[in-house]
Amino acid sequence: MVKFKTLVIGASINPERYAYKAIHLLVKHEIEVVPMAVKPGFVANLLIVSPLIVQIDIHTITLYISASKQESYYDFILKINPKRVLFNPGTENPKLAKLLNEKGILWENACTLVLLSTNQYKT
């Protein structure tokens, strides 16, 4: 069985933020979640980990930070070597997409909330 453990980069404790909503929906879909952000706290009863803390067995990285902020995560993301990276609306990044292509990592410009709501996340 494929595990879809997901690293959410740009997690938020603010209920108005899409990252917050995505984390709650991932948990509801029984997907293991690692929230990562600069600001500490808890979301969906999960501790938000600090940026660039080593992660293992990550299937999907879903991005909720702008392309300009992603640059400091390039090596980190490539080292994790996830099965896929999701660029949520507003996070699209051709430079990172090119690096992912070179390493054979699948990526999509897609909304995590939509993929979960339409049962396409685990496909």
Locate the domains of the chain by residue range.
Answer: 1-46+63-89+106-123
Alpha carbons within 13 angstroms on the beta-carbon side of residue 85 total 29
How do residues 17-67 score in pLDDT, each as one tens digit?
A: 999 999 999 999 999 999 999 999 999 999 999 999 999 999 999 999 999
- Closest to 36 measured CA to CA, from 46, 50, 22: 50
* Mean pLDDT score of the chain: 97
Report domain 1-46+63-89+106-123's class: alpha beta
Indicate the pTM of the whole model: 0.97
